[in-house]
Structure 1
Amino acid sequence: MLVDSTAWFAAPEAAVEVSDLASTLRHRRRLRILYRRSAESQASTRVVDPYGIVAKSGRWYLVADDQGDSRLLALERLSAFEQLDAPAVLQPGETLRTRWAVLKKRTEEQDRVSVTIRLPEKGLDLARRVLGTRIHHVSDAEKGSCVVVVRYPDIESVRQLLQFGDHIEVLAPETARARISQLARDLADRHSTPACDCRSGPLFSINVPGQYN
């Protein structure tokens, strides 16, 4: 078990008993878990190869390989687990400490900017498909709209939100609002005049009766 006490996110309660999970992990076997990703409304079953658990400022994570890709699985979204007979298949030379170092760096680089948006409740499924794990939080619907927090590595990444057109509103931070506004103005200016066809030669020809080419 590894404990990293430096500050990071808020710390919700774990949905499973940490001590029970830690005891199970000593057997170094695969786990079947029921887990809900941050961008999903329903939990799904998956089989993972666990390295161990990590506490980050009171928030617990299971570090595991999911189909060969290392993941940080927040325990507050882990509703059940079951030990399987098969031994855990871990990446050669990797340990809990080395995997945590890589995943911690990856997460911090992805989460530098939190952008808050408002979108219609009926567009939430599409947002989950498009934004995926960048979604950090979704509020309860109010008057037909939801407030969603999306995490990006930088402000420029808000370009992704343009594909939602006029179905979303960027609420914060102000730098994200300003960048989206500038991008929208640039796009509008580019489409305010007819497109120029730059191909050589005439666009079409007309044959006049009585004349031949």
Structure 2
Amino acid sequence: MKSSRLVSILLLLQTRGRMTAAQLAAELEVSVRTVYRDVEALSAAGVPLYGDAGHAGGYRLLDGYRTRLTGLTAGEAEALFLSGAPGPAAELGLGSVLAAAQLKVRAALPAELRAHADRISGRFHLDAPGWYADADEAPYLPAVADAVWNSRVLHVLYRRWREPTDVERRLEPYGLVLKAGRWYVVAGPGPRTFRVDQILELVTSDDEFTRPEAFDLALYWDAYQRDFQERLHRGEALVRVAPGARLTGAAAAAVEANGRTDDHGWTVATVPIESVDHAHDEFLRLGTAIEVLEPQELRARIAATVTALARTYA
């Protein structure tokens, strides 16, 4: 445990520069006294680490000092190579950069950890898009990524689903998100979310913007997804589901959470639906393994479809 913490201190100082004992303690979730002891241990081991007193003081490494990544555990080395998804990196124009970085990391690893990393890259491949989703072409993705990185304002012609479909927008791009093979840019003011593949024209401005200090991309995206699901499923249906029937998504979660078994062994539950049209198509694929009890409009729609199918195949 201590050796891992010593390596963490070394890497923190190497990547962030000067840090106070209090900052190191908060990062490592230990006491300041523990940091003092760890710093003494690193100095005794010959690490060129210096402490500056005063308000702007802190610990720092001698300029030019770099450590090899021998402090990585097997699990950390495996996770590092598993996280390097080549597809998204290539889409951002960083494919060769990722390859070069992984080569350097691999060269710095001890032989045993190098074998672990090679085993991961040889046995696991991340493929984000779904089977039946066409690949979305996003020709402006590199330009959007560059604007995110350099805090540049974008002027875009954007296609949305409602009228007027093609609109001009001024974007302050805070971050990019890859979801199920599709790229989204989160941008101010707002912030709001835009599909990168729906950008029809793009001009990068010389104007810079200031990204809000309190903005957290991961927290925003989590809240955005929850809100999207709530807006998406505005209706409900009461259904009976046969044993072994496979509902998906929010409906499956609802059956699991509030379903009750009737006298025939079927599960009765209230499930969220997007619309009558969408639920009609989703429930029909289950055939006789599901019965819609309410709403009557949905039950009648499915009954009419089944009747028409029976006439077709009679």
- Which protein has greater RCO, CA pairs closer than 8 Å, 6+ apart? 1
Instruction: Give 1 or 2 for the bigger CA radius of gyration.
Output: 2
TM-score of the two chains, using structure 1 as the length reference: 0.47
TM-score of the two chains, using structure 2 as the length reference: 0.34
